Amino acid sequence: MVALAGVIVLAVHPVWAGDDEMLASLRAMLVIAVLGAAGVAAAAPTACPQSYLDGQAPQVTNPAAVIITVEICYTLFAVAYSGPRRVPGWSAIRLTKAMADGAEGIDRLNPSPYHDELEVDAADRSTDHDYDHSGYDRGHMTPADDMPTYETQRETFTMANMVPQRGGLNSGLWRSLEGRVQNLADADGEVFVITGPVFGPTPALVNGRVAIPAYTFKAVYSPRSGVAAGYLATNEEKPVCWALPISRLETIVALDLFPALTPAVKDKLKGVPKGTGQMRREGLGRTGLKLSLDWSSRAV
């Protein structure tokens, strides 16, 4: 395990009363992130270089709002865990064609083998029972369906890889996005993915213990096709999701998600193709809104 600089807590409204409020809150996120981002990015040493582009983990760009995390290396993915929030700060994977193809050849484990993460201090662990009767799913950050064997699939059911997600997001829009990323890996050979939560200033807690994110994000990069995109989704039963340049997503989440990428790559949005034929997973959910922000935003 390696102690890391951790996750940024941003001023985001956790429950939306309407689209105008959502737009105002997103703008507020940008202002707060920029104001707090002065200075040099905090380096994030990693013991799991195989999960990151060029072996470089995300870097925190707002040290004033850092939550200390612990990095856990699994067979095919890595988690930077935020003990105070009892959720992953981010989860990272180098998803290959071989992994995507192998995943299609096995069923999802049933019953789901959720389990406590013993690499996390007992006081900081979330548990399977924290989510009981909460109204929230145990939302994978690195998906179980990315894994080519039952052993590696079981690893993704660690509670260190879970955040509270509304079912409409977890089983709908987010699941479809995960399927599109798998299809991209199948076509391009490899894709690098960083996924994580974004919190409000005083997030509600599941079972009085586990922080509930206002959004979840995903950053995707494919060296072969040049796909480079960020996705930000509201944690709602009827979620809205935006595709945006990685550089703009980095401003919102206060992380340098892919330190190895040039600004030119990060500034240009090239989204994950929707593809043709049957997706590996179904259910895109409600079409998002096109918002007029200070970047070229388009709904998923």
Per-residue pLDDT reduced to its tens digit, 61-91: 886 544 757 999 999 999 999 999 999 999 9
- Position 222 scores a pLDDT of 98
Asked if the model's pLDDT at residue 14 lies above 50, the reply is: no
Domain residue ranges in the chain: 2-299
CB crowding 221-236: b at 16 or more within 10 Å, else e: bbbeeebbbbbbbbbb
CA gyration radius for the chain? Answer: 17
- Position 60 scores a pLDDT of 83
How far does CA 18 lie from the centroid of its chain?
24
Reading the block at residue 265, the tokens are 């790559």
Binned at pLDDT 50, 70 and 90, residue 189 comes out as: very high
Please count the helices (runs of H) and the strands (runs of E) in the chain.
7, 15
Mean pLDDT value across residues 206-210:
96
Sign of CA dihedral 27, 33, 35, 38: negative
Query: What is the fold, at CATH topology level, of the domain defined by 2-299?
Result: Extracellular Endonuclease; Chain A (3.40.570)
- Position 254 scores a pLDDT of 84
Asked if the model's pLDDT at residue 2 lies above 70, the reply is: no
Mean pLDDT value across residues 254-283:
76
**135-165 residue pLDDT tens:** 999 999 999 999 999 999 999 999 999 999 9
Mean pLDDT value across residues 198-216:
93
Binned at pLDDT 50, 70 and 90, residue 277 comes out as: very low
Would you call 270 helix, strand, or coil by DSSP? strand
**Nearest-CA neighbor of 173 among 238, 89, 104, 95?**
238
- Calculate the average pLDDT of the chain: 82
- Position 45 scores a pLDDT of 79
Asked if the model's pLDDT at residue 194 lies above 50, the reply is: yes
Share of residues in the chain with pLDDT > 70 (%): 75
- Position 145 scores a pLDDT of 97
Distance of alpha carbon 183 from alpha carbon 279, whole angstroms: 8
User: What pTM does this model have?
Assistant: 0.82
> Phi and psi of 128, rounded to 5°?
-55, -40
